[in-house]
Amino acid sequence: MVKCATKRPVEILLVEDNPGDVRLTVECFKEGKIFNHISVVNDGEAAMAYLKNEGDYAGAIRPDLILLDLNLPKKDGRQVLKEIKDDPDLKTIPVIVLTTSKAEQDILSSYRLHANCYLEKPVKLDDFLRLIQMIEEFWLCVVRLPMNQSDC
């Protein structure tokens, strides 16, 4: 495993409406080796409010990484992805689409909207844990993420 050292927690925004998937994702990241902080929103409108520091999310910390489900209430994950990547202040935040959809159209449209990667949620618990470990190892250890603007 790649060794990682962080001075501050890696800020992760999880955009997920399924409470079971939220619990599982948060628990899997707790098992990891990287100091992180996960904020959770459960619909697309809340995701954009969080990212723009609006309403209940005024003062929210800018995430270093976004885990985005596609099938969300209020505002679809594809719309959220488009808004993030169209916004000059947000487009540098890596977005990992993490969804149950295996549809080729969803994969293609996500990449056309500039998703940084597309991952299918595994059904088995062990496979899900391994996927989160791979996200942690690659995205939080190997990849050099842009400096969080609050650190500048």
CA pair distance 21, 69, nearest whole angstrom: 10
Instruction: Choose among 123, 48, 38: nearest CA to 78.
Output: 48
Note if the pTM is more than 0.75: yes
- Quote the pLDDT of residue 5: 52
pLDDT tens readout for residues 84-107: 999 999 999 999 999 988 899 999
Give the percent of the chain with pLDDT over 70. 91
